[in-house]
Amino acid sequence: MRIAFHADGVCTHVLVCAEGWENLFPGLTGVPSDTANVGDLWDGAGFTPPPPPPPPPPAPADLLAYAADKRWRVETGGIVVAGIPVATDDRSKLLVLGAARLAYASETFTTPFKAADGSRHTLTAAQVIAISDAGSAHVQATFEIFDAVAAQIEAGAITTFAAVDAAAWPSNG
């Protein structure tokens, strides 16, 4: 018969024994088990495999790459300005900057604008400038947070992807 010996809730060894095995191993605690393996956990009624070890922490280079991608996703994830959803992908930012150039030249400037949600608006010069300024501030904030996160990664203070995500990234809404 197969006997699993355990101490402190862990299977320490498994032996195939004949009847009377208890007398051969005084001081050891064992139970018959067809399935126990060394390292399995004993709960007083049976053995279960131990949980897998946690994965190793990500390398700093992987955390930096993840933070750079996170920064880009936040930057291009859009913003809301005065209740208008504004796309912040590279093309949209260029179009807004071009309109802002015209808006700065004429305070009577107006332009049609398709918001990120598909709604259509006619924007005044002041609204275009506000959207441009908010977009620029949003992009700048993503780089500032990235720099802070990168410094914390390099210092060993950020060691997980979740900690990168938990940084004070600017909102997309």
pLDDT of residue 173: 60
Contact 25, 5 (CB under 8 A): yes
Residues 19, 75 share a domain: no
Residues 137, 69 share a domain: yes
Q: Tokens representing 8? A: 């402190």
Pick from 12, 27, 48: which residue ends a domain?
48
How far is residue 167's CA from residue 148's CA, in Å, rounded to a whole number? Answer: 9
Query: Could you give the maximum distance between any two Cα atoms of the chain, in Å?
Result: 101
Q: Give the SS3 label for residue 163.
A: helix
> Is residue 173 in a domain?
no
Residues 72, 19 share a domain: no
> Is residue 109 in a domain?
yes
Residues 118, 94 share a domain: yes
Residues 16, 66 share a domain: no
pLDDT of residue 98: 97
Residues 90, 153 share a domain: yes
pLDDT of residue 139: 97
User: Which residue would you say has higher pLDDT here, 20 or 157?
Assistant: 157
> Is residue 172 in a domain?
no
Residues 152, 90 share a domain: yes
Question: Quick check: 90 pLDDT over 90?
Answer: yes
pLDDT digits (tens, 9 = 90+) for 26-43: 888 999 999 999 999 999
DSSP state of 61: H
Residues 88, 149 share a domain: yes
Helices (H), 20-59: 21-24
Question: Quick check: 64 pLDDT over 90?
Answer: yes
Q: Where are the beta strands (DSSP E) in the chain?
A: 2-7, 10-16, 29-32, 41-42, 47-48, 79-81, 84-86, 110-114, 120-124
User: Number of structural domains, the chain?
Assistant: 2
Q: Tokens representing 143? A: 């780089």
Residues 137, 80 share a domain: yes
> Is residue 111 in a domain?
yes
Residues 74, 122 share a domain: yes
Range of the domain at 83: 60-165
Residues 71, 134 share a domain: yes
Contact 93, 72 (CB under 8 A): no
